[in-house]
């Protein structure tokens, strides 16, 4: 549960940064926060049991630094992205809660641009950033999210050259957890991250849960962040693929209308077939794995994720029943929302998360 805010000297915004063994990237991230302009904020770093000196660096170089309010929470082990963010939410004092990945750097006006979006828009609960690829800032990482009807999601605009095609304030399905802002009131109503997800797809579950509860999301093109992609587990990590696939299933079971959930199998098979064709020409998620042994390892990881999801289905069904009281959108409205923000099968199969 998110704590209530009553003190008048609280900052307007709390930025939560979760870290696990990324000391140098974390330093760059915090330096970018220290350079924020036009925003009243604090920073909470939640360290997930790092052994590379990350927490010591935060304590020595940033805690007590003039002009930067920062708090460090140290976990003895890696509790995952979801649990760590929830720790940060619980300790936060701001009316708005922002997330910034430890492998991301924010432009000086990032926080102020996100915060302005909520002004005079009480129904907006989330704001999404323009996230660019750090190594090539001409290229888009994500500008909000899209979803396929089997529950798999992808960043909107991923891989495209930034030619101004996403330079207007507009609705998006939900923000990427790499760089997002949430209204505290919304989180107090619907809860924080589902800790059963651990990592990957967690922002999708939180975002779609918020949309079903009636909250809106806007994409903010002036809120720019540059992201080192795949630095947490690595883009070729089997564990990463397991979590992505497992959490796809869990999200669908927990949140999808039954009429869409019954079609999950056919949509999934269509995506797998399209992905296999794309992989044969070196495209898509599996296409990153160059040799046949590597591709088989990736396929096994996906199947392992499905098996892990099966064991968690009873728990997700219980959570589904508990969420009934929060639902503001009808099943038909949820399906229409997903239709408007659907990613085409070909684009999904030829892109990578």
**60 close to 30: Cβ distance less than 8 angstroms:** no
Listed residue (92, 332, 93, 129) closest to 226, CA to CA = 129
| 216 and 281 co-located in one domain | no
Give the range of the structural domain holding residue 305, as residue numbers without chain letter: 238-350
3-state secondary structure of 139: strand
Kindly tell me if the per-residue pLDDT of 31 is higher than 90. Answer: yes
Pairwise pLDDT comparison (122 vs 7), residue with the higher score: 122
As a 3-state breakdown, the chain gives helix, strand, coil percent values, each rounded to 5, of 45, 20, 35
The pLDDT of residue 299 is 81
Kindly tell me if the per-residue pLDDT of 350 is higher than 70. Answer: yes
Kindly tell me if the per-residue pLDDT of 284 is higher than 90. Answer: no
**261 lies in some domain:** yes
The average pLDDT across 298-311 equals 90
State residue 350 phi and psi, 5-degree precision: -100, 0
The average pLDDT across 145-166 equals 95
Residue 298 confidence class, pLDDT cut points 50, 70, 90: confident
| 155 and 299 co-located in one domain | no
**6 lies in some domain:** no
User: Could you read off the pLDDT of 184-204 as tens digits, one per residue?
Assistant: 999 999 999 999 998 899 999
Show which of 227, 262, 296 is a domain's final residue. 227
**317 lies in some domain:** yes
**132 lies in some domain:** yes
3-state secondary structure of 69: coil
| Residue 101: burial class (beta carbons within 10 Å; 0-12, 13-18, 19+) | buried
Tally of domains within the chain: 2
| Percent of the chain's residues with pLDDT above 70 | 93
| 245 and 283 co-located in one domain | yes
Kindly tell me if the per-residue pLDDT of 321 is higher than 90. Answer: yes
Kindly tell me if the per-residue pLDDT of 233 is higher than 80. Answer: no
Residue 353 confidence class, pLDDT cut points 50, 70, 90: low
Listed residue (316, 179, 196, 180) closest to 256, CA to CA = 316
Show which of 164, 193, 227 is a domain's final residue. 227
Distance (Å, whole) CA 104 – CA 1: 27
The pLDDT of residue 6 is 45
| 65 and 189 co-located in one domain | yes
Tokens coding 209? 């849960």
| 213 and 338 co-located in one domain | no
For residue 15, what is the enclosing H or E element?
Answer: strand 13-19
Kindly tell me if the per-residue pLDDT of 54 is higher than 70. Answer: yes
Q: pTM of the predicted model, to two decimals?
A: 0.93
In this structure, what CATH number is given to the domain that contains residue 26? 3.90.550.10
Pair type for strands 136-142 and 145-147: unpaired
**311 lies in some domain:** yes
Residue 286 confidence class, pLDDT cut points 50, 70, 90: low
| 187 and 165 co-located in one domain | yes
What lies within 8 Å, CB to CB, of 163 at 6+ separation is none
The pLDDT of residue 232 is 55
| 95 and 152 co-located in one domain | yes
Kindly tell me if the per-residue pLDDT of 236 is higher than 80. Answer: no
| 23 and 150 co-located in one domain | yes
Kindly tell me if the per-residue pLDDT of 304 is higher than 50. Answer: yes
The pLDDT of residue 296 is 81
User: Could you read off the pLDDT of 61-100 as tens digits, one per residue?
Assistant: 998 887 789 999 999 999 999 999 999 999 999 999 999 9
**232 lies in some domain:** no
| 254 and 190 co-located in one domain | no
Write down the H helix ranges in the chain: 23-34, 54-61, 80-91, 110-117, 184-190, 202-212, 238-255, 258-261, 264-280, 284-287, 292-322, 331-340, 345-350
| 219 and 109 co-located in one domain | yes
Distance (Å, whole) CA 351 – CA 345: 10
**139 close to 162: Cβ distance less than 8 angstroms:** yes
Write down the H helix ranges in 76-215: 80-91, 110-117, 184-190, 202-212
**117 lies in some domain:** yes
The alpha carbon of residue 81 and the mean position of all alpha carbons in its chain are separated, in whole angstroms, by 10
| 177 and 204 co-located in one domain | yes
| 257 and 323 co-located in one domain | yes
Pairwise pLDDT comparison (252 vs 284), residue with the higher score: 252
The pLDDT of residue 266 is 95
Read out DSSP for 276-313?
HHHHHTT-HHHHT--SHHHHHHHHHHHHHHHHHHHHHH
């Amino acid at each position: 549960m998110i704590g209530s805010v009553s003190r008048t000297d609280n900052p307007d915004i709390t930025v939560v940064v979760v870290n696990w063994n990324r000391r140098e990237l974390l330093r760059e991230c915090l330096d970018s926060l220290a350079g924020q302009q036009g925003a009243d904020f604090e920073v909470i770093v939640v360290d997930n049991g790092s052994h590379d000196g990350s927490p010591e660096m935060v304590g020595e170089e940033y805690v007590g630094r003039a002009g930067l309010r920062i708090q460090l929470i140290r976990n003895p082990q890696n509790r995952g992205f979801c649990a760590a963010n929830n720790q940060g939410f619980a300790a936060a004092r701001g009316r708005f809660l922002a997330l910034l990945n430890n492998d991301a750097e924010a432009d000086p006006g990032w926080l102020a641009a996100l915060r302005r979006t909520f002004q005079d828009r009480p129904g907006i609960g989330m704001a999404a950033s323009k996230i660019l690829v750090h190594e090539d800032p001409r290229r888009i990482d994500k500008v909000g999210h899209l979803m396929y009807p089997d529950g798999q999601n992808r960043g909107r605009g991923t891989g495209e050259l930034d030619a101004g095609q996403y330079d207007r304030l507009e609705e998006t399905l939900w923000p990427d957890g790499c760089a997002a802002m949430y209204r505290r009131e919304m989180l107090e109503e619907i809860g924080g991250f589902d800790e059963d997800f651990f990592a990957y797809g967690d922002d999708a579950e939180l975002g779609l849960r918020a949309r079903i509860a009636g909250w809106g999301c806007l994409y903010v093109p002036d809120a720019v962040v540059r992201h080192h992609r795949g630095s947490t587990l690595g883009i070729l990590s089997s564990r990463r693929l397991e979590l992505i696939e497992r959490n796809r299933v869990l999200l669908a079971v927990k949140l999808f209308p039954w009429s869409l959930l019954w079609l999950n199998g056919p949509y999934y098979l269509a995506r797998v077939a399209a992905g296999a064709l794309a992989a044969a020409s070196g495209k898509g998620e599996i296409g990153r794995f160059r040799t046949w042994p590597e591709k088989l390892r990736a396929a096994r990881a996906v199947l392992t994720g499905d098996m892990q999801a099966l064991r968690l289905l009873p728990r997700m069904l219980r959570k589904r029943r508990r969420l009934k009281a929060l639902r503001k959108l009808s099943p038909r409205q949820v399906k229409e929302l997903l239709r408007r923000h659907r990613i085409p099968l070909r684009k999904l199969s030829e892109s990578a998360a």
